[in-house]
Amino acid sequence: MKVVLISPYEIGRQPFALAQPAAWLERDGFDVDCIDLSVEPFQLDSIIQADVVSVHLAMHAGARLAADLIPQIVHRKPNLTICVYGLYAPVNDGYFRSLGCEFVFGGEAESDILSLCRAVRDGSSLSELRETRISMEKLAFTRPLRSLLPELSRYSRLTCADGTEKTTGFVEASRGCKHLCRHCPVVPVYSGAFRVVSTDVVLSDIRQQIEAGAEHISFGDPDFLNGPGHARRIIDRFQQEFPGMTWDATIKIEHLLQHENLISRFSEQNCLFITSAVESVEDTVLDKLDKGHTAEDFRKALLLLRRLAISMQPTFVPFTPWTTLEGYLELLRQIVKLELIDGVAPVQLSIRLLLPRGSSLVDSEDREEWLGLFDSKMLGYSWRHSNSRVDTLQSSVQEWVISAMDQNLDRMETFAGVWAIAHQYIEGKVPELKRTSGTKVPQMSEPWYCCAEPTENLRNQTMKTIGSDSTDEIHAIA
């Protein structure tokens, strides 16, 4: 029996969330195919032969692509069993069911996917699986089956500070998160829980990716220090086996400050950079998001990493219902003052808060001032700032960032444009911007979104950076 696993888009990473269930299914005797639409075209032949198709919805952008794709699959093969799984599946279950998906799994979904495929193969009852399921089961992970996925060289690559490029391997040592930030898509599914992948499995996954050409390892956990002991054991063994191999991870500001000794140890273990969801330099906004850090904490964490020669890659959600025009200028000033222009991907300067279903922000006390209706096709709530000038500024900044990406402008040139647009609009004059000499920092070819994503145009633009034409492909088969 044939099962096809599809990933629409996962920020340029070779998806663990396909390779892990693929290993479970193949071990059980299924004929498995994996399609990663971010780097390869849609393979209709594979779908025609499939008995079950399972689509992973890791991100808002991927879920939107899946919403385009699924009706076309249903049209071609009406009786196919289709399931969706991942962070954006349970919160949008009604919509995906309306498109033809009968099964919706969230959280630790591998066991449910296997049960579904077994039931279809054996002709047994599917009724227990029809309800939307969110599993928090502690799974016995196995080595992900990555050989069914496109080569690592086709995914996001690392450009080091000295300009050399490295093929990157992508590993997950845990899923979920023990924190409850109010804008985060992990929270409606994991509700403060996280699950670890065993050290042996993580090491075996690293090993197989290094054998496949990886020269740098990127840990894709929502937060690498949810389990600091687990993280330490993994890095100790990884560095013992592969001394000198560089790596990066995502770690929240609060954890960076709490675990200074561990970060110091990581700096001696070839940690190249850390992505951290700073989100804002306005404490009122950080408070609304329940981020667990202040603007001052961000500065302390940045200085800590600098002292340890680890680069910080901050991510921001600069446009929220609570952003002020002065607060946006302050963000730009802080980026200049902290010499971060080259460390911030331009897309981060234009991101507007996403409000997926399940976001606790829609219960904010002041929601009547800004919250609109849920748009099932957009998979999110609309919102408008109470000061329309903030929304106008966001549109202008976004338009400029898209244009700068089209022109291949560097980060300094792009930032200078944002600086001019924002100051001209808010203050009517543009203060001089001291241009940096272009300090080079390590960069992934696909910008990393920690817990916010760009809107449609920017998403399409950023997908082009890894050469994906899958959006066109999906429309072409209609």
The residues of the shown chain that bind ligand SF4, judged by CB under 6 A, are: 177, 179-181, 184, 186-187, 222-223, 252, 277, 451
Complex with ligand SF4: residue 6 or 452, whichever CB lies closer: 452
Give the nearest distance from C-beta 242 to ligand SF4 in angstroms.
27
Complex with ligand SF4: residue 22 or 251, whichever CB lies closer: 251
Complex with ligand SF4: residue 205 or 279, whichever CB lies closer: 279
Give the nearest distance from C-beta 465 to ligand SF4 in angstroms.
24
Q: What one-letter code names the amino acid at 351?
A: I
Cβ contacts of 399 within 8 Å, gap of 6 or more: none
Give the nearest distance from C-beta 179 to ligand SF4 in angstroms.
4
Complex with ligand SF4: residue 175 or 385, whichever CB lies closer: 175
Give the nearest distance from C-beta 253 to ligand SF4 in angstroms.
9
Complex with ligand SF4: residue 100 or 292, whichever CB lies closer: 292
Give the nearest distance from C-beta 315 to ligand SF4 in angstroms.
10
Whole-number Å distance between alpha carbons of 384 and 320: 9
Give the nearest distance from C-beta 289 to ligand SF4 in angstroms.
8
Give the nearest distance from C-beta 424 to ligand SF4 in angstroms.
33
Task: Give CA 125 to chain center in angstroms.
Answer: 35
Complex with ligand SF4: residue 134 or 451, whichever CB lies closer: 451
Complex with ligand SF4: residue 186 or 231, whichever CB lies closer: 186
Give the nearest distance from C-beta 28 to ligand SF4 in angstroms.
31
Strand partners, 169: 217
Complex with ligand SF4: residue 184 or 263, whichever CB lies closer: 184
Complex with ligand SF4: residue 134 or 393, whichever CB lies closer: 134
Give the nearest distance from C-beta 254 to ligand SF4 in angstroms.
8
Whole-number Å distance between alpha carbons of 13 and 234: 20
Complex with ligand SF4: residue 70 or 451, whichever CB lies closer: 451
Give the nearest distance from C-beta 215 to ligand SF4 in angstroms.
27
